[in-house]
Structure 1
């Protein structure tokens, strides 16, 4: 007689086989066997169960794992609202290329479609939020479903997958063996003729520029870009998700980040370039209708994903191949003596000085709060190249994206596809789990922080060294300054004050408040030296925010 196990046990073994380290979520009756099995597993390889305080945050932590590691994070919830609360996080992960596997409980199969407790069409609901959404019909199929969800989640373009687990299927008997570890699917290098054509275009271009996008931040792609830059000093412009592609020793090739508003040094460089090489670029980061408007010259798309063609983005060459392998092939073919002209190099030197000057903080004026650049400079002085900084959405995220330097990929994290409020603190939890040994910094506004701040309890419970900075101004300011730019006034953006020091202390965390710019450095020192989560409330002076708005495309204020 064959040995049998439950569907839940088979699913746990499938996670072990695929190397899943954590499962984040909130329990419920439809998934209690899965949670019990993980919690009391005697297998040391079983994933660690981490209970959160909201399903949306659980999925955001899982997506943070996906972004940091390139391997899927896993979230598990019960049926009904447990599943529906995942929607925003999974849409964000899919849009921004973060691999996630979501496991959602479901009522027993004979109750699906009936007006019973917590019965909703989970598979259908999640089909528009994920790359794939399936409902398992037989317990023997659970391992296959998980393996395929894993493979789909990591395949370019990475994103979220969803598996609906009817209660009777999860509790049913399994007599099939589980799927073994899913092998990595490798793409090939571009053929020799294509590589030769790229090299020829670079050689004949006056000002070739690399636009490094989200998939450029994969470790192998970043390494290949750096090899190319060591061989040939091509200027690089990063998207927000491409932050950290240019290392500190290659910083002379860095010309800033672009996104949202077309008024940066990098935007001007792209406009002047007669050859833009987009590497792992995704239009959700920064639409071509903004950066590619009113420019002439060729575009080469080098990506593991076939690009979306629009009237604003019609590359002369589309190279669908392994990015890192193709970049290394270019390095092999590009002559070692190739260089930009002295005239172009002088122009780039001038642009580099302009970029550096923009980051200088003005004189302190504590009467109106602390200037964004002063906060950024104080933080910059505190971190090292291995510090992970997660950034929420708000006016501060534009300041951080433009002026905070990062020299390692996927160490400065932004939600620039969906601009989802509340991402920073869950991502910081993921970073603290995956990158132990030093503090993790989370940056949020007083609006977005409260979207996920209940996870302070989770961070306290896990004793995670997270320093949470809150830029406090009493408004949804990213909307506010754009309203003022459009209409000359604001509407519906203000809210009441919160004492975040007391709020942090109520969770068992440490709370600190900064009153003056001169106290920033000492307060950050204290925060970094304190065990466990620390919340630092900083009154911010946003009077210079109108300088963030678009100057070249006045109609683009989104």
Structure 2
């Protein structure tokens, strides 16, 4: 039995799980927990500018480490601010434990300042929501971590009743539970899948977020090579196959996806590996052919439109090994034709423009950032370019939000990435619209001396929405970020600002910034017109 306070037990329980940082904005009810954090080695509190940023940082921490990211928000507005990051963990499939103040039992349901039902607030955004008890601290936190990391990972909310932090923790100390493992797939389903795969001439592999979480890049590469199969990726699966691999066919949903569609339209079967439709529904791109779904959950698809589905539900690695063991020769794909199409697509993603454009910014950044550096990006037209054009040598070296897709993601994500991997170089690429949403987190970077580079693509335009307006024949309205001008000034919150308008200026600024020991912001003045011919293409022609 423990003789510690609830606050001390909570902090030590998180530390023992492998949590190294708790992100948030403190409240009076959080003071005892902060003191416990101060006294406990191996875990620290990170004061963020906004609870939304705290949630995003916790989500990315969980995504990168596999240990639940932890964040905190107080009553009412603190909790509602936090929900942006909690929703991100839910739909970007990252393990998280979100903490919030809660009213004492006597005040629950009463009319009081900042009083809302946090259990009801977090219920649709989490895998589970619960409330801490002094007699079960370790049990509740261990259970939350197990739920957050099992199946498709996601967030769990724990309410912290105010005043409980100073009470004695009377629950038993628990051993950490073993990591969750999916059971083997049904032998019957494996046999059905093997027979279909054997019979088809042109299967294609569609790799998604679940394959990243299961760390299956090498088995997927070997499967593709053995049977000479094309591979398409969802955006968050970037890095699962290198762009220069003979089987690489491109990223779904992002720039020039109509050209990626020229490949998957030829398929007579789709093998979806860890494919999570939270990024892109299968119906939006798949030809009307049979589907083999290799995942930890059954596929979410319109079965009336796609009746031929084999759900191979269970351990993905074991199911892939079963397919890879089939005694078959290469399938009938023309990989030379695929190579020509891939080369043509990448040429178009590097247009020859006299003025500095987003594609040139990405090309120069890729030259300067080390291969093992981490690039985060915000949501916007530039995300669609990055999804297709950014060479990603391995999974998790390019971070985006494509399930939740919240603007403002890039800077908090970069902070979390640098804290998780301090030895790596980190860069965030953001549009000027998304930058304005979480620019305040640069103050967090200064506070903790977190060294990363932010590139702001300043075009004074919400380009994706502007393009959609124009394609409907509507006038441009409500999408200019500002009428003219730039960020202005030599620094923001103590972060140096360097403004560039040419490729030469950008390369020099990036070289210096990546070598810097503190945060640096580079504002690249670009035109958004380059996006018009590259993004929002149809994945499927019917």
TMscore range, shorter length: over 0.9
Q: Which piece of structure 1 moves more, 280-289 or 345-354?
A: 345-354
Confirm or deny: 8 A CA contact 2:38 2:44 kept in the other structure.
Answer: yes
Partner of 1:284: 278
Partner of 2:111: 115
1:19-71 CA distances to partner (integer Å, 9 max, x unpaired)? 21111111111221111111222xx34x2111111111001000001111222
Shift in Å, 1:167: 1.0
Structure 1 segments of 4+ aligned residues over 6 angstroms from their partners? 553-556
Residue of structure 2 aligned with 1:271, choices 265, 282, 294: 265
Partner secondary structure for residue 11 of structure 2: helix
Partner of 2:330: 339
Q: Which piece of structure 1 moves more, 438-447 or 163-172?
A: 163-172
Distance 2:474 2:114 in 1: 47
Matched, 1:482 2:468: yes
Distance 1:260 1:220 in 2: 23
**Equivalenced residues, count:** 540
Partner of 1:511: 497
Distance 1:388 1:549 in 2: 24
Distance 2:405 2:541 in 1: 20
Superposition pairs of residues 366-385 of structure 1, within 5 angstroms: 366=355, 370-385=356-371
Q: Quote the RMSD (CA, aligned, Å).
A: 2.3
Matched, 1:130 2:123: no
Distance 2:225 2:334 in 1: 18
Partner secondary structure for residue 296 of structure 1: coil
Instruction: Give the TM-score normalised by structure 1.
Output: 0.91
Confirm or deny: 8 A CA contact 2:134 2:171 kept in the other structure.
Answer: no
Matched, 1:210 2:205: yes
| Cα distance change, pair 443–549 in 1 and its aligned pair in 2 (3 A) | closer
Distance 2:485 2:13 in 1: 45
Partner of 1:445: 431
| Cα distance change, pair 184–315 in 1 and its aligned pair in 2 (3 A) | farther
Partner secondary structure for residue 158 of structure 2: strand
Superposition pairs of residues 408-427 of structure 1, within 5 angstroms: 408-427=394-413
Partner secondary structure for residue 237 of structure 2: coil
Superposition pairs of residues 112-261 of structure 1, within 5 angstroms: 112-136=108-132, 138-218=133-213, 220-247=215-242, 251-259=245-253
Confirm or deny: 8 A CA contact 2:273 2:295 kept in the other structure.
Answer: yes
| Cα distance change, pair 178–223 in 1 and its aligned pair in 2 (3 A) | farther
1:85-140 CA distances to partner (integer Å, 9 max, x unpaired)? 1112111210110111001011222111112232210111110111111123x311
Distance 2:181 2:400 in 1: 27
Distance 1:517 1:185 in 2: 48
Confirm or deny: 8 A CA contact 1:252 1:352 kept in the other structure.
Answer: no
Residue of structure 1 aligned with 2:290, choices 290, 298, 306: 298
Residue of structure 2 aligned with 1:502, choices 478, 489, 492: 489
| Cα distance change, pair 520–268 in 1 and its aligned pair in 2 (3 A) | same
Confirm or deny: 8 A CA contact 1:387 1:438 kept in the other structure.
Answer: yes
| Cα distance change, pair 315–146 in 1 and its aligned pair in 2 (3 A) | farther
Confirm or deny: 8 A CA contact 2:255 2:388 kept in the other structure.
Answer: no
Partner of 2:510: 524
Q: Which piece of structure 1 moves more, 448-457 or 307-316?
A: 307-316
Distance 1:121 1:555 in 2: 47
Confirm or deny: 8 A CA contact 2:226 2:330 kept in the other structure.
Answer: no
Confirm or deny: 8 A CA contact 1:62 1:100 kept in the other structure.
Answer: yes
| Cα distance change, pair 312–21 in 1 and its aligned pair in 2 (3 A) | farther
Residue of structure 1 aligned with 2:341, choices 338, 351, 354: 351
Partner secondary structure for residue 529 of structure 2: coil
- Gap runs ≥5 in structure 1: none
Distance 1:524 1:157 in 2: 37
1:470-494 CA distances to partner (integer Å, 9 max, x unpaired)? 0101122221111111134211112
| Cα distance change, pair 155–315 in 1 and its aligned pair in 2 (3 A) | farther
